[in-house]
């Protein structure tokens, strides 16, 4: 698959929303704290490289992920994607 400017833009937009956690206890504390501090639901999703590839091929799949409160990196493929696109995941 060829990397087009739009594909790279959509992928970077998604990657900028992905978080990493130092450890599971910190993650749980952060998510619970946010859920208690706001009205309504706190949404959390996981993104792996297959998901990024699907979004790259179909722009309509991007919006449901950008609407999440938290997107967590899942897998070595995502770690490599961050390096390839010169992005850094935001720590929680």
Per the structure, how many domains does the chain have? 1
Domain enclosing residue 68, as ranges: 7-91
The pLDDT of residue 9: 62
Distances (CA, A) of 75 to 26, 36, 57, 81: 19, 29, 20, 10
What confidence score (pLDDT) does residue 7 get?
53
Single pTM value for the model: 0.69
| Percentage of the chain exceeding pLDDT 90 | 0
Q: What is the pLDDT of residues 47-91, one digit of tens each?
A: 898 988 888 788 788 888 888 888 888 888 888 878 887 777 777
Share of the chain above pLDDT 70, in %: 89
- Residue 1 falls within a domain, yes or no? no
**Among 42, 58, 55, CA closest to 15:** 55
């Amino acid at each position: 698959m060829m990397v087009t400017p739009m594909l790279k833009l959509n992928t970077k937009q998604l990657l900028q929303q992905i978080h990493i956690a130092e450890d599971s206890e910190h993650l749980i504390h952060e998510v619970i704290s946010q859920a208690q501090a706001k009205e309504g639901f706190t949404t959390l999703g996981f993104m792996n490289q297959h998901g990024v590839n699907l979004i790259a091929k179909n722009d309509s799949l991007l919006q449901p992920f950008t609407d999440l409160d938290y997107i967590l990196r899942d897998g070595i493929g995502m770690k490599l994607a961050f390096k390839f696109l010169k992005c850094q995941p935001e720590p929680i």
